[in-house]
Amino acid sequence: MAFCRDKQKRSYFPGGDPDTGGCACGKDGTCDLNAEGQPYGVLCNCDINDESWRNDIAYITIKMDMPLTVFQAGDTGKVFPFEILGKAK
């Protein structure tokens, strides 16, 4: 969950679709596949929650989402989140 300059909660991770939520991989269909090569049916790799190290990488591309003022991530049940926020360019 993120809050931006308009103080409105965002239901998508930066790079995801503001209308459907999720992450960039959910928007462009590149989320990780299972052992059979089939999609897990998630909008973010972190939602797979299979005790494998996975990541969702994002760049804020929607100008209204800048500056990001709060970023919150929580445990998905079996794993712990790890975030790195870089400098704005």
Give pLDDT tens digits for 38-85.
Answer: 999 999 888 887 878 888 887 777 777 777 777 666 555 555 555 556
Alpha-carbon span 29 to 7, nearest angstrom: 29
Q: What's this model's pTM, rounded to 2 decimal places?
A: 0.68
What mean pLDDT do residues 23-35 have? 90
Phi, psi dihedrals of residue 27, rounded to the nearest 5°:
-75, -40
